[in-house]
Each structure stands twice: as C-alpha cells, then as structure tokens.
C-alpha cells in the first residue's frame, strides 16, 4: 500500500529521473530530470518559453498525466515518500500549487470562500491572515471572484497556495499580472515561507522582479535541468527611433470608465496618434483592462466622448480566450491571408515549428505569441495589447518590442498595458492610473 508522508512540516521536495513526452511529439519535453528542494529553500526555474518549465511543475502537482495526457516516467517524492501514483486531488493535501492562470484554479463565488476553503484544506492559521493582509485582500473578501482584475485574482490564487505553508509549494510564473507593490510583497512572503520551512520551486521569466527572494536558479534547456547560478537580468530595451504622426486616431474627452457602480477612471482626456506607442500602467484593479475594452468597443463608457477612426485590435491578458482553431496553422489561417504571408508571420513569431500543435497544448508564452501573430495578420490600424509579456523570456520580449517598433514606424498605433518598466521604456509616452485619474509620466 502506498504510504503518504506523515509530517507535512519542513518537507523536502524531490524529483528523480523525470521524463515527459506529449502525444505525437517528436521528442520528450523533459528527459531524466532530477531536482531537489530542501526545507527553507526557494528555487527558481527559468528557460525559453516552451522549454518545459510548466511541464515540470505540472508533473509535480499531478496535472500530468492525470489531466494533461502525456507519457511520464520517474518519481516525485516528499521526504523520500513517492507520491507519483496520487492524483492531483490527493496531492493537493501535500503540495500547494499556484498555476500560471489564476482563473483556472479559483472556483468559488467570493474571495472569502476561496480563502476559507484553503484553510480547511491545509489547516491554516495566523500565516494565512498574514498573507491576506500583506496582499491587501481584506477589502475584497466579499467581492465575487469574477469581478476582480487579473492582478487581484493572481493575489487570491497566490494566497490560496501560500496557505499551504510549510508544505512544499510550487508557483508557476507568480509575478504574472502583479503590480510593483504586489511583487515586493511576494518577494517578502517567499522569504517568510522559507523561514517557516517550506520548500518552494517556482518558474519565472522575469526573475529580476523577485530580487534576492530566490536562493538559486536552474535553467530548463534541451529537455534537461542545469544550475544557472544567478537570476535572469532585465533586458535592455531601446526607445522607438521614429517620430509618430500628428493625426489622432483615438480621441477621448472627459471619458469615464466604471465597473458596476464603482468609478475606475474618470475625466480621461487622451489622444493616440498615428504610429505612436503608448504604455499604460497602474495598480491592480485600477481599471486598465476595462479602459482597453472601452477603447476597443467591447465595453461602454459611462460618460464623456470617444472618437475612433480606424479598426482596433485587442489582445486580452488571457490568451486562451482568443484561440479557437484546432492547430496553430489553422489559427493564423482564420485571418484569411495568403499561405506565404501566414508562413512568414509564423516564422516571425517563432511559431513555425509548432504549426501542427493544438493551441491548448502550448505554453503560456507560445499562446501569447500566437494571439499576437493572428492579430498581426488582420492589420488593425490601432492595436491594444493587455499584458503581452506573460510567459515571454527575455529574447521573446526583445523580439516583441522590435516588432511593434517596426509596425508603428509604418503607421500602426499601439497601446500597451503592462506593469513592466521595460515595456514603458519602449514607448513614446507612458501613462499611469493614479487615484482614478490618468497621469502622464515624464520621460
């Protein structure tokens, strides 16, 4: 009979000989991987998008192969006891997990219900209260999860996972959607869960955002795992070289954006010009994504005037909401362009080798690139991209910036919503939402 660990305090997490191969894949995404994370240790995983980082975490949590079909061999152990035969529900009592898509693991109506459920699962006490307070969730406890912004949902999902301390904890791209203040809170909490004896393994493309909270870094590359020794560094991003045109393609006067009876941003005066790149940042829940939907015509404004003279494309922060076809090639074919152009756009977005794959099998970064490629083919005069850097490694981020520089130099206007200062550096102008107002920041 399979024996479970009896003591969940200060548990060592170990992976031995892990090999993962997806159906119809030519090669295994992971081959004979070993990883040990001792109590109190925080280990970060980095690597190119699609390298297998999420596959490694999903194998630890049991999502592979129980929910995601794959051939898998090797062992996952907690304090030397193998849990490889347990399904995800059984492992949930032993290993706390935060997925890279918070909406995929939040099922209850309100924030309070989600946190209370985590208390019952893990028997959490004072430390759960500490995490709730640190992430500033007290005012949201009775809000419906569906009414939260992406960043607010991410904080809830992280709270639910960190409630498992001192059990081993796995976090997939935990800074996704978080504003700079929440990033600092997460870094502090990682120190604290380590001091409580949790063994933490996380994936993070933007490792520089976590400061010294990660003890050591490993890189997933060519199916294996190698010690990196240092955190990934932020890429150097150059500002655009071209000067935007004088013609306004989007104009707002006194615009008000609300959610329910709550005003998010009011009295917005904003002009986006032909060929201009504008960055937009602000705290989680401040209304950035709602404003994007208003500008794209998907959400009604609550006051003021909005004038648009060109077609607008909108890239959601949840890439999977904009993927509908059975293969990557079919996804770009839906744009109705010629075969030669489709092949060129797949190469440009580093997706040509994935043409036969189903979009739902791609990594988060690959899905982001696919949505951008499909929208790119539609040639909108105005492109609004909401948190486009999710899952993108440094090289992919540079390629994305270079692409929007080329497109904007030819006349396309971009509004890029992101918490990342690297993105703001790539723009002509940078606005921030502050206390329900849109404020332009000096360069």
Q: Could you give the residue ranges of the DSSP H alpha helices within 135-255?
A: 150-162, 180-195
Supply the pLDDT for residue 342.
86
Determine the average pLDDT of the residues in 401-423: 94
Question: Over 70: is that where the pLDDT of 3 sits?
Answer: no
b/e code 332-366 from CB counts within 10 Å (16+ = b) = beebebeeeebeebbebbbbeebeebebebbbbbb
- List the chain domain ranges: 13-227, 248-441
Supply the pLDDT for residue 5.
39
Determine the average pLDDT of the residues in 39-51: 93
Question: Over 90: is that where the pLDDT of 339 sits?
Answer: no
pLDDT in tens, 66-110: 988 899 999 999 988 999 889 888 998 899 999 888 888 899 999
Question: Over 80: is that where the pLDDT of 9 sits?
Answer: no
pLDDT in tens, 258-315: 988 889 999 999 999 999 999 999 999 999 999 999 999 998 899 999 987 778 999 9
Supply the pLDDT for residue 25.
82
Rounded Cα distance between 273 and 247, Å, is 6
Question: Over 70: is that where the pLDDT of 318 sits?
Answer: yes
Determine the average pLDDT of the residues in 207-233: 90
Question: Over 60: is that where the pLDDT of 137 sits?
Answer: yes
Rounded Cα distance between 112 and 135, Å, is 14
Rounded Cα distance between 295 and 292, Å, is 5
- The CATH number of 248-441 is 3.40.50.300
Q: What percent of the chain has pLDDT over 70?
A: 97
Class at the top of the CATH hierarchy for domain 13-227: alpha beta
Determine the average pLDDT of the residues in 397-406: 92
Question: Over 90: is that where the pLDDT of 26 sits?
Answer: no
Residue 321: band (very low, low, confident or very high) from pLDDT cuts 50, 70, 90: confident
pLDDT in tens, 230-244: 888 888 899 999 999
Residues 6+ apart with CB under 8 A from 335: 342, 374, 377, 378
Is this structure's pTM higher than 0.85? yes
Check for a shared fold between 13-227 and 248-441.
yes
Supply the pLDDT for residue 2.
29
Determine the average pLDDT of the residues in 363-376: 90
3-state SS assignment for residue 86: coil
Write out the chain in H/E/C secondary structure: CCCCCCCCCCCCEEEEEEEEECCCCCCCCEEEEEEEECCCCEEEEECCCCCCHHHHHHHHHCHHHHCCCCEEEEEEEECCEECCCCCHHHHCCCCEEECCCHHHCCCCCEHHHHHHHHHHHHCCCHHHHHHHHHCCCHHHCCCEHHHCCHHHHHHHHHHHHHCCCCCCEEEECCCCCCCHHHHHHHHHHHHHHHHCCCCEEEECCCHHHHCCCCCEEEEEECCEEEECCCCCCCCCCCCCCCCCCCCEEEEEEEEEEEECCEEEEEEEEEEEECCCEEEEECCCCCCHHHHHHHHCCCCCCCEEEEEECCCEEEECCCHHHHCCCCCHHHHHHCCCCCHHHHHHHHHHCCCHHHCCCCHHHCCHHHHHHHHHHHHHHHCCCEEEEECCCCCCCHHHHHHHHHHHHHHHHCCCEEEEECCCHHHHHCCCEEEEEECCEEEEECC
């Amino acid at each position: 009979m399979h024996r479970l660990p009896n003591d969940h305090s200060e548990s060592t997490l170990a992976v031995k000989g892990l090999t993962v191969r997806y159906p119809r894949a030519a090669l295994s995404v992971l081959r004979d991987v070993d990883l040990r994370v001792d109590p109190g240790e925080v280990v970060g995983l980095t690597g190119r998008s699609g390298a297998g980082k999420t596959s490694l975490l999903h194998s630890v949590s049991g999502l592979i192969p129980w929910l995601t079909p794959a051939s898998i061999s090797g062992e996952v152990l907690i304090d030397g006891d193998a849990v490889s035969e347990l399904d995800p529900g059984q492992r949930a009592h032993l290993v706390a997990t935060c997925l890279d898509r918070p909406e995929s693991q939040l099922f209850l109506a309100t924030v309070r219900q989600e946190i209370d459920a985590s208390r019952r699962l893990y028997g959490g006490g004072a430390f759960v209260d500490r995490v709730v307070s640190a992430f500033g969730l007290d005012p949201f406890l009775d809000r419906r999860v569906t009414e939260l912004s992406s960043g607010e949902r991410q904080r809830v999902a992280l709270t639910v996972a960190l409630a498992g301390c001192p059990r081993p904890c796995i976090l997939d791209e935990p800074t996704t959607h978080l504003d700079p203040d929440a990033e600092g809170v997460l870094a502090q909490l990682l120190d604290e869960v380590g001091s409580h004896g949790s063994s933490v393994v996380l994936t993070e493309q933007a490792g520089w955002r976590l400061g010294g909270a990660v003890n050591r870094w490993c890189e997933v590359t060519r199916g294996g795992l190698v010690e990196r020794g240092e955190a990934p560094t932020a890429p150097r991003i150059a500002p655009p070289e071209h000067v935007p045109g004088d013609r306004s393609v989007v104009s707002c006067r006194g615009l008000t954006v609300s959610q329910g009876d709550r005003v998010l941003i009011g009295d917005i005066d904003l002009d986006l010009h032909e060929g201009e790149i504008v960055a937009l940042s602000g705290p989680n829940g401040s209304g950035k994504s709602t404003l994007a939907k208003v500008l794209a015509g998907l959400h009604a404004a609550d006051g003021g005037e909005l004038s648009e003279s060109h077609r607008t494309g909108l890239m959601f922060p949840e890439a999977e909401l904009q993927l509908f076809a059975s293969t990557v090639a079919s996804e770009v074919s839906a744009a109705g362009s010629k075969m030669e152009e489709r092949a060129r756009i797949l190469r440009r977005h580093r997706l040509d080798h994935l043409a036969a794959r189903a979009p739902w099998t791609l990594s988060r970064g690959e899905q982001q690139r696919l949505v951008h490629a499909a929208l790119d083919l539609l040639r909108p005069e105005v492109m609004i991209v909401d948190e486009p850097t999710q899952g993108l490694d440094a090289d992919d981020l540079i390629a994305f910036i270079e692409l929007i520089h080329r497109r904007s130099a030819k006349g396309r206007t971009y509004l890029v919503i992101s918490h990342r200062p690297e993105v703001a550096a790539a723009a002509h102008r940078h606005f921030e939402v502050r206390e329900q107002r849109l404020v332009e920041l000096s360069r």
